[in-house]
């Protein structure tokens, strides 16, 4: 977690909004689930590599807008660094 507006995220840079900025690296073939929440919105960008998000593929620097989804599954098609903004 890089930045967060939630007190429970005490290891993140505090921001003054109900949002989180999350980043990570996935090896080719690895998957991770993120519980976004259907009432929230997400914006996901693979900084490097190619990924699949709930069946939708994206290349490096493509942006994926996410809404009305409880959980997202991110799968690295090739090694990838991803950044996710989770907000209301």
Domains, the chain, ranges and CATH?
A: 3-40+48-87 (2.60.120.10)
Tokens of residue 18, six digits: 């109900």
pLDDT for 33 equals: 98
**Which pLDDT value is given to residue 1?**
84
Does residue 83 surpass a pLDDT of 90? yes
The predicted model scores a pTM of: 0.88
Tell me how many degrees the CA angle 31-84-61 measures, rounded to the nearest 5. 90
Alpha carbon distances (Å) from 66 to 3, 20, 41, 54: 19, 14, 6, 10
Q: How far apart are CA 44 and CA 55, in angstroms?
A: 14
φ and ψ at residue 34, rounded to 5 degrees: -130, 120
Confidence of residue 64 (pLDDT cuts 50, 70, 90): very high
Render pLDDT for 6-63 as a digit per residue (tens, 0 to 9).
Answer: 999 989 999 989 999 999 999 999 999 999 999 999 999 999 999 999 999 999 999 9
């Amino acid at each position: 977690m890089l930045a967060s507006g939630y007190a429970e995220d005490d290891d993140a840079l505090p921001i003054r909004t109900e949002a989180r900025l999350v980043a990570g690296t996935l090896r080719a073939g690895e998957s991770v689930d993120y519980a976004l929440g259907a009432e929230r919105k997400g914006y996901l960008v693979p900084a490097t590599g190619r990924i699949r998000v709930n069946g939708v593929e994206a290349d490096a620097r493509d942006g994926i807008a996410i809404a009305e989804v409880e959980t997202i599954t991110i799968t690295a098609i090739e090694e990838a660094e991803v950044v996710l903004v989770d907000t209301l």
